[in-house]
Amino acid sequence: MCLAMPAQVVNLAANGCGTVLLGGVSLAVSLEMIDDVRIGDYVIVHVGHAICKLDTVEAERTLALFEEIAMLATATA
């Protein structure tokens, strides 16, 4: 099983890489698989590679669901 997470692009580098925010953590990722990535875009990140762009509304909805799951998990622990 694999898990790909939505992350927001916060920096672009000239080498096809960039920085994304994922759960409050900044990560360096490869952006080479996606055309026309801009700062502020949401991308799906899997194993250090952005694999596709994601609509902002969908990304925010998905992140809210992950947050809800985390809250429920800590409430029942």
What is the CATH architecture of 5-76?
Roll (2.30)
Helix, strand or coil for residue 59? helix
Helix, strand or coil for residue 69? helix
What would the pLDDT profile of 40-77 be if each residue is shown by its tens digit?
A: 999 999 889 999 999 999 999 988 998 898 888 888 76
Give pTM, 2 decimals.
0.85
Closest CA to 54 of 1, 5, 3, 2: 5
Closest CA to 20 of 5, 35, 3, 36: 5
In this prediction, residue 77 carries a pLDDT of 67
